[in-house]
Chain A
Amino acid sequence: MSYKIPMGPYHPALEEPYKLDLICTGETVTDAKLHIGFNFRGIEHLAETRNYIQVIALMERVCGICSNIHTLTLCQAMEGLTALTPPPRAQYIRVVMAELERLHSHVLWAGIAAKLMGFKTMFMTCFELREKVMDILQAISGNRVNYSMNRVGGVNRDIDDPQAVLKMIDALEAEMLRTVIPIFTTSSTARSRCAGIGVLTHAKAISCGVVGPVARASGVGQDIRKAAPYAAYGEMEFDVPVQPDGDVKARLLVRALEIMESCKILRQALSKLPPGELFVGDGKFDFTKMVTTTSTSRVEAPRGEVMYSVSWKEGSRNPARVHVRTPTFAVMPAIRWMVLGARLADTPLIQASIDPCYSCTDR
């Protein structure tokens, strides 16, 4: 006989409010339904009532973990509207900020995954390591969460001393190689808890249209940084880690390897930081003269592809429409296929393995 277990919306295993209804037979999950919308703040509608500069500050609050990515994508879309090209130094600083954000997001996810495995020590280690990334972010931008680095046509702040940041990154990478990466890749405790659970096959990954690390863990080697380079990613050398297994262990490995790739990109970007201006123009943009009516931008966020589409309204200070498509929106339907046939005790780890961000998805 099957029974229903409602999980959430305010549940200790969930970081954010959402509801997962699990239909179980015995210990086995036979179906799952996901309810979201507890975080719905109506940001897309609010964006239509704010002017172009205010929208940047508003969109930074879409998500507190990938705040920089949202402004980066929005600014790129707005640059498409006004046909502005940021100067090379700004492009490089954007890459540095995006990769630092990826680092802290992946380490944060590793901590939460460790906590859900019941590995509390690892959770604390990951968060201590994350503070080192936050130190770098704070040294560059002055803030810990909402960096407000991006503006239309460039960046707001400079990296004054790239060598000092490079030293911090060396220390960070050494620490990663010493603790986090070996434990997640070789420790039998971590492997036994996540190998073979929450499998998303290659075919299912393609039919669900998943993005980001979840797709790469199912053998779909897609990455916007490689496929459609933005900012200065075209000049960086890096690999896209792909794992064929599609289980939670593969997602763990992909993210662990991406941490190392991020360090590689950061080192290149900081050592090659070109001199020059931080933004084009004098900071005043004439939003009455747009070159196109709708502009779209795609960026690889820590969780996958983020797409922004900004439409221009003639004679108005406000955009006609700001459309956001977040990675969790694409990955979310795959949860159902991951938990089918899984044990009930594994579901918190499986649903967390996609690194969900429902505040992005609900907006």
Chain B
Amino acid sequence: MNLWNKLMCYSRRRSPWLFHMNGGSCNGCDIELIASLTPRYDAEQLGVRLEGSPRHADILCITGPITHNAVGAIKVVYDQVFGPKAVVAIGSCPATTNVFIESRTLDGPLNKHIPVDVFVPGCPPRPDAIIQGVAKAAEILAERASKKLPVAPVVMPLVGEGCGGACACGGSGGCATKEVQA
């Protein structure tokens, strides 16, 4: 890897810009995503910025159980994001369709339509969990920028059950810590 590639990887990891899409969400995860960008949680210190256009974004954050009406838009927006790109599914809805399972107006889960890199579970996930998921996606982004290899989807531990990456397990959920992350 030459110096230019190294610089690109560093930059991608240090300034992941987000595009947020609501795929039929109840607003819970959307509000927590906004809360994670505001002073208390301050995701902006990781270089994260919420961007208005998918063409400026690196990471696509999708919430909600994916309604029929949203599928087309999600595919279009996914294609509009320039590579390398990463997709974060925020909340239990895009992963499993959650309580709305068996609804006839849903076309979920999300990985039926586009490849998902990070699943952040929770209904809704806490802002710390969202930041952790976005940080993981930024790592994946840098990895993609360097090797251009496909990366298997990551399921983040449920904050409140796992350690949330605080101990030696590195957030893989392998530890038995049951402490709630403050």
Contacts and interface: CB of A to CB of B under 8 A. Distances in A.
A15 B24 CA distance: 12
A77 to B, nearest CB: 19
Nearest to B100: A41
B67 interface: yes
A9 interface: yes
A32 B1 CA distance: 54
Given A64-B27, A131-B38, A359-B26, A144 B53 contact: no
Contacts of B67: 38-41
A-side interface size class: 35 or more
Contacts of B28: 61, 64-65, 67, 145-146
Interface stretch (B29-37, B81-89, B131-139, B171-179): B29-37
Contacts of B64: 39
A46 B100 contact: yes
A43 B100 contact: yes
Contacts of A108: 31
Contacts of A38: 22, 24, 67, 69-70, 73
A255 B67 CA distance: 32
Interface in A90-140: 108, 123-124, 127-128, 130-131, 134
A38 B28 CA distance: 16
Interface stretch (B5-13, B101-109, B140-148, B149-157): B101-109
B30 A15 contact: yes
Given A39-B24, A42-B103, A128-B39, A16 B30 contact: yes
A359 B25 contact: yes
Contacts of A46: 99-100, 102-103
A162 interface: no
B70 A17 contact: yes
Contacts of A349: none
Given A58-B99, A108-B31, A127-B35, A37 B69 contact: yes
A49 interface: yes
Residue among A37, A127, A130 with the most chain B CB within 10 A?
A: A127
A89 to B, nearest CB: 27
Interface in A13-50: 15-17, 37-43, 45-46, 49
A276 interface: no
A38 B38 CA distance: 27
Given A41-B103, A64-B29, A127 B39 contact: yes
A10 B73 contact: yes
A49 B70 CA distance: 24
B124 A146 contact: yes
B26 A63 contact: yes
A160 B22 CA distance: 37
A306 interface: no
A12 interface: yes
B77 interface: yes
Nearest to A144: B126
Contacts of B32: 144-145
Interface of B: 21-22, 24-32, 34-35, 38-40, 52-53, 64-65, 67-70, 73, 77, 98-100, 102-106, 123-124, 126
9 contacts: A58-B99, A61-B99, A61-B100, A64-B27, A64-B28, A64-B124, A65-B27, A134-B35, A146-B124
User: Which 8 A-B pairs rank lowest in CB-CB distance, beginning with the nearest?
Assistant: A64-B28, A12-B52, A127-B38, A64-B27, A42-B105, A131-B40, A145-B28, A64-B26
Interface of A: 9-10, 12, 15-17, 37-43, 45-46, 49, 57-58, 61-65, 67, 108, 123-124, 127-128, 130-131, 134, 144-146, 357, 359, 362
Given A15-B27, A40-B67, A46-B103, 6 more contacts: A17-B24, A38-B69, A39-B67, A131-B35, A144-B124, A359-B24
